[in-house]
């Protein structure tokens, strides 16, 4: 598939927005993703920032996240197979490699391929079910 990364990202984001809405979640899309937040899920007492990361293939690819928020979830989506994982921030950070950027800040890189077994309970409908349970 010959698409630029912005197009792939939008495909993944809209795919996930529709799944989140179909699952009865209140989705608020941010106007500009300039701090690692693609949308917010509204809960009864708080909100849940969502970062959606897309790939065409996860074999050997890593997902990198720079900004983290309280109650955050990272959703990794393969736009070809529609495979996805809904990963709580704390789990993402625990399974990731923490890296130090030369500009002085930290970021986290998660390799989906090598962590598939640990991520199984966050895959697909299992991940959506967990998100619904936490939000409601």
Longest CA–CA separation in the chain, Å: 42
Q: What token pair was written down for 49?
A: 């920032």
When pLDDT is cut at 50, 70 and 90, the band that residue 59 belongs to is low
Give the residue among 73, 77, 47, 74 at the shortest CA–CA distance from 61.
77
For position 55, what pLDDT does the model report? 79
**What per-residue confidence (pLDDT) applies to 134?**
94
User: Measuring CA to CA, which residue among 49, 121, 64, 52 is closest to residue 97?
Assistant: 64
**Full-model pTM:** 0.92
Q: 70-92: per-residue pLDDT in tens?
A: 999 999 998 888 999 999 999 99
Label residue 57 by pLDDT band (50, 70, 90): low
C-alpha 44/C-alpha 59 separation (Å) is 38
Structure tokens belonging to residue 99: 């890296």
Domain ranges of the chain: 5-135
The CATH classification of domain 5-135, taken from the options 2.70.98, 4.10.240, 3.30.70, 3.40.1350: 3.40.1350
Q: What is the DSSP string of 53-82?
A: EEES--TT-EEEE----TT-EEEEEETTT-
Average pLDDT over residues 118-134: 96
């Amino acid at each position: 598939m010959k698409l630029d990364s912005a197009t792939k990202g939008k495909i993944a984001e809209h795919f996930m927005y529709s799944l989140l809405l179909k699952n009865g979640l209140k989705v608020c899309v941010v106007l500009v993703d300039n701090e690692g937040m693609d949308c917010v899920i509204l809960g009864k007492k708080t909100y849940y920032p969502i970062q959606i990361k897309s790939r065409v293939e996860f074999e050997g690819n890593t997902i990198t996240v720079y900004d983290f928020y309280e109650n955050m979830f990272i959703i990794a989506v393969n736009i070809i197979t529609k495979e996805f994982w809904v990963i709580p921030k704390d789990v993402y950070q625990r399974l990731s490699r923490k890296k130090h950027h030369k500009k002085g800040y930290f970021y986290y890189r998660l390799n989906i391929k090598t962590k598939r077994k640990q991520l199984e309970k966050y895959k697909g409908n299992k991940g959506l079910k967990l998100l619904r349970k936490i939000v409601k």
